[in-house]
């Protein structure tokens, strides 16, 4: 049954928040999510409250909590990448500058967030990107993540973690949806098998790239 809304009308997401949503509600909504990604609220609490107050104004005006320091394009798919917390869409940039765009969130190991307020120059060289909490991936399983434009499959075997390209070289199947058998992952599309330790396969010229992984402070990191 139609509610009288045109089919092409934008969907308002305001219903996911109560009309009287406040700063403490946003904190309760955001904190557990960013914690699983290796982040926390900035230690500058007055700054945090100022940003969240701006978020409430954006929520009231636009129907969702868009990043206050990014400009909306008007394209719903593109703008979904700046709905706060937007960390999953900018893992590599944020890991490099150790904070999100506005500094509302900082990496969990940063003790003083004041030094990360404002525009931060990106350092050069490899960077370790936190991707999820240690317990989020049980042994014998594999999952897909995105880091920037990179599609990566992360596998766990016992207490070891491995990262390799998510794209099978046969027909571009998603290895992150494959089946694990010890150190081998089987592509869910046609059964090609890859060793998660080095990305090798029995098929010629079809090995995939791997990435260095580390585990510290309860989080899995991938070096980019």
pLDDT at 5 over 80: no
| Cα–Cα dist 153/174, whole Å | 8
Closest to 159 measured CA to CA, from 186, 138, 178: 138
Query: 156-168: per-residue pLDDT in tens?
Result: 999 999 999 999 9
Give tens-digit pLDDT for 95-146: 999 999 999 999 999 999 988 887 777 778 899 999 999 999 999 999 999 9
Kindly report the backbone phi and psi dihedral angles of residue 205, in degrees, each rounded to the nearest multiple of 5, phi listed first. 55, 35
Nearest Cα to Cα of residue 214 among 206, 201, 224: 224
CATH 3.10.100.10 fits 128-223, yes or no: no
Q: Where in the chain is the domain with CATH 2.102.10.10?
A: 128-223
Q: Which CATH architecture has domain 13-116?
A: Alpha-Beta Complex (3.90)
CA 196 – CA 163 distance, rounded (Å): 7
Direct distance between the N- and C-terminal alpha carbons of the chain, in angstroms, rounded to an integer: 49
- CATH 3.90.460.10 residue ranges for the chain: 13-116
């Amino acid at each position: 049954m139609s509610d009288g809304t045109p089919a092409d009308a934008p969907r308002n997401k305001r219903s996911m928040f109560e009309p009287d949503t406040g700063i403490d509600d946003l904190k309760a909504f955001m904190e557990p999510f960013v914690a699983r990604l290796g982040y926390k609220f900035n230690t500058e609490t007055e700054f945090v409250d100022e940003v969240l107050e701006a978020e409430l104004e954006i929520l009231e005006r636009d129907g969702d909590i868009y990043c206050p320091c990014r400009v909306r394009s008007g394209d719903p798919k593109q703008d979904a990448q700046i709905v706060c917390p937007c960390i999953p869409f900018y893992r590599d940039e944020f890991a490099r500058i150790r904070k999100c765009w506005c500094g509302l969130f900082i990496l969990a190991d940063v003790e003083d967030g004041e030094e990360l307020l404002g525009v931060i120059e990106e350092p050069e060289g490899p960077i370790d990107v936190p991707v999820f909490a240690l317990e989020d991936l049980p042994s014998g399983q594999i999952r897909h993540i995105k880091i920037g434009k990179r599609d990566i499959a992360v596998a766990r075997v016992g207490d070891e973690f491995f990262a390799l390209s998510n794209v099978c070289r046969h027909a571009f199947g998603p290895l992150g949806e494959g089946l694990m058998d010890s150190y081998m992952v089987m592509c869910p599309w046609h059964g090609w098998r890859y060793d998660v330790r080095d990305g090798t396969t029995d098929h010629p010229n079809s090995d995939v790239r791997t990435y260095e992984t580390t585990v510290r402070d309860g989080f899995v990191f991938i070096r980019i």
